[in-house]
């Protein structure tokens, strides 16, 4: 049993030495560099339809969305909404 533990410990030490031999001072957030055109083509979403009412709804926010943004901008309401839900938090801080 003791030989097995020594063997496992030695394997663990050797693995740690071989895995960690790189430069430890390099930044971890190097990221991926891509061109602006490629990034915008990747993020751009397609339109569902060319109907007038769908374009209307894309331009204007719903009342519920406006209330959510108002609650998110108030730190206590934002925290309380995570605990008890958005509807209850909004009613508590801003009324109906």
DSSP 1-22: -HHHHHHHHHHHHHHHHHHT-S
Percent of the chain whose predicted confidence (pLDDT) is above 90: 26
**Which pLDDT score is estimated for 92?**
93
Q: What is the pLDDT of residues 63-73, one digit of tens each?
A: 888 899 999 99
Averaged pLDDT, 35-41: 72
What pLDDT band is residue 89 in, cutting at 50, 70 and 90?
very high
**Sign of the CA dihedral running 59, 62, 65, 66:** positive
Give yes or no for residue 24 having a pLDDT over 60.
no
Residue with the bigger pLDDT between 95 and 14: it is 95
């Amino acid at each position: 049993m003791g030989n097995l533990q020594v063997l496992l410990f030695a394997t663990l030490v050797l693995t740690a030495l071989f895995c960690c031999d790189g430069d430890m001072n390099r930044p971890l957030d190097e990221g991926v560099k891509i061109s602006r055109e490629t990034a915008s083509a990747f993020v751009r979403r397609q339109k569902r339809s060319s109907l007038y009412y769908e374009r209307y709804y894309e331009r204007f926010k719903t009342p519920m969305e406006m209330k959510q943004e108002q609650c998110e901008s108030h730190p206590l309401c934002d925290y309380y909404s995570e605990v008890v839900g958005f509807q209850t938090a909004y009613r508590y801080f801003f009324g109906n």
